[in-house]
Amino acid sequence: MQKLDMKYEGKAKRVYATEDQDLYVVEYKDDATAFNAQKRGTIGQKGVVNNAITAILFPQIADHGVPTHFVEKLSDREQLVKAVTIVPVEVVIRNVAAGSFSKRLGIDEGTPLSQPVVEYCYKSDALGDPLINTDTAVALGWASLDDLSTIKDYALKVNAFLKDFFLKRGIKLIDFKLEFGKLSSGEIVLADEISPDTCRFWDAKTGEKLDKDRFRRDLGNVEEAYLEMLRRVEAQ
């Protein structure tokens, strides 16, 4: 599938049109940003790892009842996806307190939550993805109540599948972010990626962080952690 005009360039990916208006090519970059792009760098092999992990997870998520935009992996850094309009509401699912949740509420990182917590943020680089609620999203026309109900149902299904998938591979899924898109038919599908950029992964035995927090917090061995996560995901 030939790449035509670049439709969008984000912090970690580029999206290209193709000769088929219903299909896009997504190209994964090694560029990394954190803290609303105040911290910038590159993580060796990140694009390859995130493309590979997403390409393994998305078809399995679809098998578990959540439709996705994923079509096929094209190369080390490229995948073919269905064209969607991204819903500008990022969904964060938390199983264990960490990151901004711990900071906001004064809860120690690592405190288990008695049920998954679903949070919503407005997807805006300029504003630093502020926390919102579903009323805000409806009032500002970002998503309908029906769409948000579908999105929450899908997010919890993805969480149930991923928690089990990763635990079998010795990884605790602490929290993660999902993005959803709309096909031209209006159908909501899971979009974007699921990777060490968008999830917190802690080794179940040692508690070692195997995700982007190694970059955010200058913990070292960032590339090694990403490659270790790919190894675990590829394990049968």
CB distance 170 to 228 below 8 Å: no
- Amino acid, res. 73: K
Which among 108, 66, 82, 68 has a CA at the least distance from the CA of 25?
82
Closest distance between ligand C5P and the C-beta of residue 50, in Å?
11
State the residue number with the nearest CB to ligand C5P: 99
CB of 39 to ligand C5P, least distance (A): 13
* Least gap, CB of 48 to ligand C5P (angstroms): 18
Nearer to ligand C5P, 50 or 134 (CB): 50
Enclosing H/E stretch for 229: helix 222-234
- Positions in the binding site for ligand C5P (CB under 6 A): 90, 92, 98-101, 129, 175-177, 198-200, 212
At closest approach, how far in Å is the CB of 236 from ligand C5P?
Answer: 25
Residues 6+ apart with CB under 8 A from 112: 95, 96, 97
Q: Round to whole Å and give the CA distance between 208 and 204.
A: 8
What is the DSSP-derived secondary structure letter of residue 124? -
| C-beta of 99 vs 170, nearer to ligand C5P | 99
**Given the complex with ligand C5P, which of 155 and 189 has the nearer CB atom?**
155
Rounded distance, CA 149 to CA 134, Å? 9
Which residue, 5 or 218, has its beta carbon nearer to ligand C5P?
218
Nearer Cβ to ligand C5P, position 4 or 219? 219
Q: Smallest distance from the beta carbon of 99 to ligand C5P, in angstroms?
A: 2
Strands 131-132 and 171-182: unpaired
Distances in whole angstroms, Cα of residue 28 to Cα of each of 45, 49, 111, 143, 233: 10, 9, 33, 27, 18
Give the shortest CB-212-to-ligand C5P separation in angstroms.
6
Q: Which is nearer to ligand C5P, 99 or 116 (CB)?
A: 99
* Torsion of Cα atoms, 56 then 89 then 132 then 34, to 10°: 60
